[in-house]
Amino acid sequence: MAVNRYPIIGVMGSHEHSHEEYSSVIGELIARRGYNLLTGAGAGVMSAVAKSFTEVEDRKGVAIGILPAVDYKGQKLDKEEYPNKYIEIPMITPLSEKAQNDKMPFSRNLVNVMTSKALVVLPGSHGTQNEVSLALMYNKPIILFGPDDAFVKFPEDPLRASIIDHVEQFFDDIFGE
């Protein structure tokens, strides 16, 4: 049996807002390209992008979700929220509450970044900003996808796009397609 070695594309973003106009097109693009999708497996962008990804018929890749072991308050995860119903391969990170913060060496954010071949970042807050910082620190290919005003507090370095064609070009540049 052949092993699936399709590139893993991480999509990071808000757990509160789905940003449907961006998450649905990026999920579909990743699926059409034959890549695997990786998200944080929760609500918001994570659920919306996984939904659009899994709705593509005859796709090659799978939807991978990196789950925390506990929520940000150290409580057991809400089974309705984690993993969202579109995640096909849930991966639980056995990390303590403290390890889920910022740039700790064993953070869930670090697992998201290091597992991804490239990252597409949609609007989000502190955790998403942290993932951008980690991607820059580890020289991961990254593109911010959404309106410029959504990324005002983000580092200036990453490539930015507000239309899906620019994300397609980003993939072409990385994967030589």
pLDDT digits (tens, 9 = 90+) for 86-112: 999 999 886 655 554 555 556 788 899
Distance of CA 87 to the CA centre of its chain: 12
pLDDT of residue 139: 96
154-176 pLDDT, tens digit each: 888 899 999 999 999 999 999 98
37-67 pLDDT, tens digit each: 999 999 999 999 999 999 999 999 999 999 8
Q: What percent of the chain is predicted at pLDDT more than 90?
A: 69
pLDDT of residue 93: 80
Token representation of residue 37: 């999708």
pLDDT of residue 85: 95
Phi, psi of 91 (to 5 degrees): -120, 115
Q: Does the pLDDT at position 143 exceed 70?
A: yes
Q: Does the pLDDT at position 4 exceed 60?
A: yes
pLDDT of residue 81: 73
* CA–CA distance, 63 with 147 (Å, rounded to integer): 25
pLDDT of residue 101: 52
Q: Where are the domains of the chain?
A: 8-172
pLDDT of residue 72: 63
Stretch 8-20: mean pLDDT: 96
Order of strands, sheet of 89-93, starting from the edge strand that comes earlier in the sequence: 89-93, 63-68, 36-39, 8-12, 118-121, 142-145, 159-161
- CATH code of 8-172, in short, is 3.40.50.450
Q: Whole-structure pTM over 0.85, yes or no?
A: yes
Q: Does the pLDDT at position 130 exceed 80?
A: yes
Q: Are 97 and 70 in contact (CB under 8 A)?
A: yes
